[in-house]
Amino acid sequence: MSMDARAIAVRALRDKSGNISAHLSRLLAECDLSAEDRGLAHELTIGVVRRRGTLDAVLRAYLRQPGKKLPSPVRAVLQVAVYQILYLQRIPVFAAVDQAVNQIVHIHHKRQSGLVNGLLRTLVREMSAPIERALEPAPARNLVPISETKIRRIGRNIFCDPAKRPADYLAEAYSLPEELAERWIEQFGSLEAAIAVAEQTCARPPLICRVNRLRSDAESVVANLQADGIDAKLHENGCSVVLPSGANITGLRAFADGLIQPQDPTATAVVLNAKIKPGVRVLDFCAAPGTKTTHIAERMENRGEIVAVDVSREKLNKIDDNCRRLGIDIVKTCLAEEIGELDFRSFDLVLADVPCSNTGVLARRPEARWRFSGKSLSTLIRDQQLIAAAAAEYVAPGGQMIYSTCSIEPDEGGRIVKGLLKRVSHLKPAGEKLTLPAGIGDPTRWHDGGFAAIFNA
């Protein structure tokens, strides 16, 4: 298939199945592109998903009929072009305009080429160069945040008034669904506090890997990666390494040799805070792809037994693959439908790392923000309650249970814990922690958001 990076991005963004990332991967697999062009296709596609709310706000401000629905391919072309113009300084702005007009002609929407050309050239004419945010610290209708340190001033109002409609402003300026914007302002107490969290969701997250302590240590892995020409750094947690953005993790010798496993420090901390020693018996719910499973096995020094549970054989195969690569042989996999065959109250540690809304990891999973709704949250909460209650039944006397999620919503964290403690009598709370995403601007201090609670039996 012959397509350039921008054409691939436009096609991926028009995915109708609801999984743009998967569609992008399929398109890239079908095309013979250079590494640079593959990187650009990924940047454009994921960048538009991450900033879609802001891009659409800009388009509404510049369309003569902002309420009129654009054809899907035209809208995607405009989103990609505006993303380049606002956020990618390495691409000349008028080159982005010309490429967009050419794309419109190529996809047989020639009649829209005048609209596209006029809109984009007007935007270019009316926008400023990047400005230090410290010079314009207050939110404003015509200031577009483009990074944690930069903004652009636009010659017309783009966003809702932050003083009168703070949730609508937050949704538009930081690309969040309105329901989530409203929740965050209420949860964090002010627009400014919510912006600090929302800012993290718009950042490009660093690639962070946990070091497999069964085979090496963090300092040695950093040295090995640097010897291979990889600009790796030690994370501040002391047990993870930070790799350059865009690094091909599966192509690294350290990955193939089982020295590293992609895992954010917040997820790593969940296992580090548990009571784990060699020889114990562990049950891991919702375990695929085995990131926490293998971390637990490392802390057990690969001695004892772990039963890893998930809903499909395909998911369980991913756990097996990671265990083989990391040199772990104490993990047995189990389909969720067969969990009734396990003995109640027979595990020293039970981990329930439940499916969630992903609001703590929106930087890594940008599509998740557009799936958030009150209805979807209600479904998740029901599942989380069921999984937590089921997990509690397998904790042995004297054992521990961990409930964790990569959401920062109270409904999926502390309120689940309170509900569980009302339903079970053999578990006692031993601590809980909500971690907000942080570290923007310094990859060695980056961590995602999440929630974890520990119970003693």
Q: Nearest to residue 329, comparing CAs of 294, 285, 279, 280? A: 294
For the ranges 6-20, 22-36, 173-187, the one whose mean pLDDT is highest: 173-187
Q: What is the pLDDT of residues 388-397, one digit of tens each?
A: 999 999 999 9
Residues 215 and 288 in one domain: no
HEC-encoded secondary structure of the chain: CCCCHHHHHHHHHCCCCCCHHHHHHHHHHHCCCCHHHHHHHHHHHHHHHHHHHHHHHHHHHHCCCCCCCCCHHHHHHHHHHHHHHHHCCCCCHHHHHHHHHHHHHHCCCHHHHHHHHHHHHHHHHHECCCEEHHHCCCCCCCEEECCCCEEEEECCCCCCCCCCCHHHHHHHHCCCCHHHHHHHHHHHCCHHHHHHHHHHHCCCCCEEEEECCCCCCHHHHHHHHHHCCCCCEECCCCCEEEECCCCCHHHCHHHHCCCEEECCHHHHHHHHCCCCCCCCEEEEECCCCCHHHHHHHHHCCCCCEEEEEECCHHHHHHHHHHHHHHCCCCEEEEEHHHHHHCCCCCEEEEEEECCCCCCCCCCCCHHHHHHCCHHHHHHHHHHHHHHHHHHHCCEEEEEEEEEEECCCCHHHCHHHHHHHHHHCCCCEEEEEEEECCECCCCHHHCECCEEEEEEEC
Residues 286 and 413 in one domain: yes
Residues 276-285 have a mean pLDDT of 98
> Does position 362 have pLDDT exceeding 80, yes or no?
yes
Q: Nearest to residue 11, comparing CAs of 22, 27, 25? A: 27
> Does position 1 have pLDDT exceeding 60, yes or no?
no
Residues 190 and 65 in one domain: no
Domain with 381 in it? 265-456
Q: What is the pLDDT of residues 399-428, one digit of tens each?
A: 999 999 999 999 999 999 999 999 999 999
Q: What is the pTM of this model?
A: 0.94
Q: Nearest to residue 284, comparing CAs of 273, 293, 274? A: 293
Residues 315 and 381 in one domain: yes
> Does position 119 have pLDDT exceeding 60, yes or no?
yes
Flag the least confident range among 71-75, 151-155, 193-197. 71-75
Could you report how far apart the first and last alpha carbons of the chain are, in Å?
Answer: 58
Q: What is the pLDDT of residues 120-129, one digit of tens each?
A: 999 999 999 9
- Taking residue 17's Cβ as centre, other Cβ atoms within 10 Å add up to 7
pLDDT of res. 2: 62
Residues 335-350 have a mean pLDDT of 96
Q: Which one of 94, 109, 126 terminates a domain?
A: 126
Residues 282 and 256 in one domain: no
Average per-residue pLDDT for the chain:
95
> Does position 363 have pLDDT exceeding 90, yes or no?
yes
pLDDT of res. 418: 97
Residues 6+ apart with CB under 8 A from 183: 409
Residues 398 and 301 in one domain: yes
Residues 173-182 have a mean pLDDT of 98
Q: What is the pLDDT of residues 210-234, one digit of tens each?
A: 999 999 999 999 999 999 999 999 9
Q: Which one of 201, 226, 242 terminates a domain?
A: 201
Residues 392 and 291 in one domain: yes
Q: Which one of 201, 230, 254 terminates a domain?
A: 201
Confidence of residue 19 (pLDDT cuts 50, 70, 90): confident
Residues 335 and 428 in one domain: yes
> Does position 283 have pLDDT exceeding 90, yes or no?
yes
Residues 285 and 376 in one domain: yes
Instruction: Enumerate the β-bridge partners of residue 127.
Output: 154
pLDDT of res. 107: 82
Q: What is the pLDDT of residues 220-275, one digit of tens each?
A: 999 999 999 999 999 999 999 999 887 889 999 999 999 999 999 999 999 999 99
Position 281, amino acid: R
Residues 173-195 have a mean pLDDT of 98
> Does position 154 have pLDDT exceeding 60, yes or no?
yes
CATH number at residue 224: 3.30.70.1170
- Taking residue 216's Cβ as centre, other Cβ atoms within 10 Å add up to 18
Q: What is the pLDDT of residues 21-59, one digit of tens each?
A: 999 999 898 988 888 889 999 999 999 999 999 999 999
Instruction: Enumerate the β-bridge partners of residue 349.
Output: 282, 400
pLDDT of res. 124: 96
Number of domain units in the chain: 4
Q: What is d(CA 297, CA 400) in angstroms, rounded to the nearest whole number? A: 16
Residues 176-188 have a mean pLDDT of 98
Spatial contact of 169 and 46, defined as CB atoms under 8 Å apart: no
Region of residue 238 (phi > 0: left; psi between -120 and 50: alpha; otherwise: beta): left
> Does position 64 have pLDDT exceeding 90, yes or no?
no
CATH number at residue 376: 3.40.50.150
Confidence of residue 343 (pLDDT cuts 50, 70, 90): very high
Q: Tell me the percentage of the chain whose pLDDT exceeds 70.
A: 100
CATH number at residue 70: 1.10.940.10
Residues 118 and 136 in one domain: no
Residues 213 and 72 in one domain: no
Residues 45 and 87 in one domain: yes
Instruction: Enumerate the β-bridge partners of residue 66.
Output: none
Confidence of residue 65 (pLDDT cuts 50, 70, 90): confident
